[in-house]
Structure formats: C-alpha cells, structure tokens
Amino acid sequence: MNDMTAPIKLTSLAHGGGCGCKIAPGVLTEILKSTPFRIVPGELLAGSENNEDAAVYKLNDQQAIVATTDFFTPIVDDPYDFGRIAATNAISDVYAMGGRPIFALALLGMPINTLPLEVVRRITAGGESVCAEAGIPIAGGHSIDTVEPIYGLVVLGLVHPDKIKRNSSARAGDSLILGKPLGVGILSAALKQGKLSDEGYRRMLEYTTRLNRPGVEFADMPGVHALTDITGFGLAGHLLELCRGAGLGAELKWHDIPFIPQAVEHVKAGIFTGASTRNWAGYGGEIQLGAGIEEWQKQLLTDPQTSGGLLVACARDSEAEVMAVFSRHGFADARKIGSMSDHGSGIAVI
C-alpha cells in the first residue's frame, strides 16, 4: 500500500487530461473512414453521422433512448474533483441531445499497484455525487487494471422522438448562444505547470462540474434548431460540425465570446495545451480570422473544453427565451456569440 502521507498527483500519471485526451480530429476522421459497413435500423434516429453527441434509438411514438459514453484521464489532482468532472462531462451528451438522463454505468481503469484504494474510492464517490445531483443512479459498470487512471460513465436517457436536438439542423440566420465561458483546457495546462492560482482552480471546478440541465428544456422549444456541447475539439471544432451538418457557415464576434479571465491571462503568457495545436492542424483551414486576431486568441478558439457549455443555434425571436432558460439554471456567463450564415462555409471570426 502506498504511503498516504505523500499524496499522488493524479495528473502526473497521465499523458494528457480531460477532453484534451481526444484523438486529433484529422486522425479520427481517417480512422472512421475505414469503419466497415454496418446495418442501420430505422429505429436508430441518431448515430455516428456528423459526430452527434449521442446515439438515439426510437422505442415507441413517445420515447426514444439516448445512449452515450465518455471517459478520460485526470484533468486535476484531487480524486473527488476528478470524479465529479468526469461524470458531469459524460452526462452532458444526453443533455446536448435534449434528453433527460435516467441512469449511468461506471467505467473505471486504475493502476491498482500505484494508487491507494482510498484514492480510487474518492474518484468513484465524486462521480456518484454528480449523478445524485442529476437525479440518476449508477446502476453498475466495469473496471480494469490500467497503466493510467481512467474514469467515466455510460449514460442513458430518454427524449421524445420528435424533440431530439441534433448538431446538424441549424438554419441560416440562427443566433448562436454559448452557455459557459471558454478556457478550461488552458487552466488545466497551467495546473500541470504549477501556475494555477486557487481562484483559477475554483473557477475551473465551477464550470466543469455544472450540469448542462438547460438541454432538457431546450427539447421543448421549437425555436431551438440545433444543439451540441463544446468539448475536446474546442468551440471552433464543434461549431464546424454544426456548419457541415447544416451546409452553412458561421460568423463569430470575438468580443462577444465569453472567456474565463484566468485562462486569458495564462494563454497570453504562452500556456496552452498540445490538443489546441492539434485541433488547429485538423480544421484550421476552414476558419477565416479577422485582421488583428493574434496567436493567443486562436488558441482560445481551439482550446479543448472538458465538460464545456451547450452551444445553441436558435431562431432570433427565441434568443430571449434561451437566455432565460440559461439564467434560470444559473448560467450567468451565457452569451450570444454569433450567427449561422448561408454565405459560404466554415467560420469567420470578426
């Protein structure tokens, strides 16, 4: 048994952390190209096409099941906080489809000879606390002995078949509203370098453990046309998925995008993740940057978010209602950041 008087830094056991561990978008595209032909039943309403946030399978005229899974290596050193962040992130994909989560299964991979069992217990306890907050049980799961610590969930939810919110149904002229500020990946990089302040850590936890509950209400709003959550591919990458799915372009207004203040400070000092660089290499050719946009600003656009905010594409006359939903759930940082356009493709940042 390890000496608990010398706490192990969880992030030191992982080559990456959080959604920054995602395979680079270009590499993932190449992998999926070779996926063999599969049978796709008519009841499968959403699958791997256009990188939807979760799969949706129709059970009957009133119910469809939403299924997703997400897991990663530690983004923070505190085991309880790691569990909370991982669980919040996994549940988010159900909310991003307009679904209501109903239960979860735990996915656990731990270096048992390296980590004390109490540390592992704290990780799972953190995940359980978030599931309790979401009103769902962890009904089982699977665990293995691994080299790096890995934790996450399989999450199942329900949605009305006619109320699914996809990431491919945005319309020209739609307003784009972002629920959480950007910069979590940069804060995680600062943490690994020992440069993150207590206040920066508090803000990081505040956003990564806030459940994206507004997604359930968005399912009942006809004016919400498309929905996704911002995770490992950054704001730019996930917005590009909306653009490709709808055959549209998007325009972002830089000064309207919300950022975590501490993240801006760190990225200006040259602190960012390798994943943000890989993200730009994978899709940067589809982004037109306005005059004066500097390198640090580009890093924020591609910064991998862990348990990031919902991105809503809605009719302009639904903006106030969407903002009211965000406000009611405590998302004070939600902002309109741009709009969808039928002029060209890709993203223009002005």
Annotated catalytic, 19?
Answer: yes
The residue type found at 164 is I
Taking the domain 10-162, which CATH number applies? Answer: 3.30.1330.10
Tokens 């995770």, residue? Answer: 231
pLDDT at position 37: 55
Q: Reduced to 3 states, what is the DSSP secondary structure of residue 4?
A: coil
pLDDT at position 14: 67
Tokens 């940069």, residue? Answer: 186
pLDDT at position 27: 58
DSSP-assigned letters across all residues of 218-268: HTT-TTEEEEEE--TTHHHHHHHHHHHHHT-EEEE-GGGS-B-HHHHHHHH
Q: Which of 19, 21, 131, 243 is catalytic?
A: 19
How far apart are the C-alpha atoms of 47 and 44, rounded to whole Å? 7
For residue 109, which of 152, 138, 77 has the smallest C-alpha distance? 152
Instruction: Enter the tokens of residue 135.
Output: 């009103």
How far apart are the C-alpha atoms of 300 and 287, rounded to whole Å? 13
Tell me 85's DSSP state: H
Delimit the domains of the chain by residue range: 10-162, 165-349
Taking the domain 165-349, which CATH number applies? Answer: 3.90.650.10
Proportion of the chain in helix, strand, coil states, percent, rounded to 5: 40, 25, 35
Tell me 23's DSSP state: P
Give the pairing of strands 249-252 and 150-159. unpaired
Give helix 184-192 / helix 198-208 axis angle, nearest 10°.
140
**Which pLDDT tens digits describe the chain residue by residue (350 residues)?**
333 434 677 887 766 554 555 555 555 556 455 666 567 788 999 887 767 889 999 999 999 999 999 999 999 999 999 999 999 999 999 999 999 999 999 999 999 999 999 999 999 999 999 999 999 999 999 999 999 999 999 999 999 999 999 999 999 999 999 999 999 999 999 999 999 999 999 999 999 999 999 999 999 999 999 999 999 999 999 999 999 999 999 999 999 999 999 999 999 999 999 999 999 999 999 999 999 999 999 999 999 999 999 999 999 999 999 999 999 999 999 999 999 999 889 999 99
Alpha helices by DSSP H, listed for the chain, are 25-33, 79-95, 117-134, 184-192, 198-208, 214-218, 234-246, 261-268, 274-283, 295-302, 319-328
Q: Reduced to 3 states, what is the DSSP secondary structure of residue 305?
A: coil
How far apart are the C-alpha atoms of 259 and 111, rounded to whole Å? 35
Contacts of 290 (CB under 8 A, 6+ apart): 254, 348, 349, 350
What's the angle, vertex CA 245, arms to CA 185 and CA 294, rounded to 5? Answer: 40
Yes or no: say if 334 and 49 are a contact pair by the CB < 8 Å rule.
no
pLDDT at position 344: 84
Tokens 């030191």, residue? Answer: 12
pLDDT at position 42: 87
For residue 137, which of 146, 128, 145 has the smallest C-alpha distance? 128
pLDDT at position 4: 41
The residue type found at 116 is P
How far apart are the C-alpha atoms of 13 and 21, rounded to whole Å? 13
Burial class (CB in 10 A: 0-12, 13-18, 19+), 5: exposed
Beta bridge partners of 71: 152
The residue type found at 268 is K
pLDDT at position 3: 38
pLDDT at position 12: 73
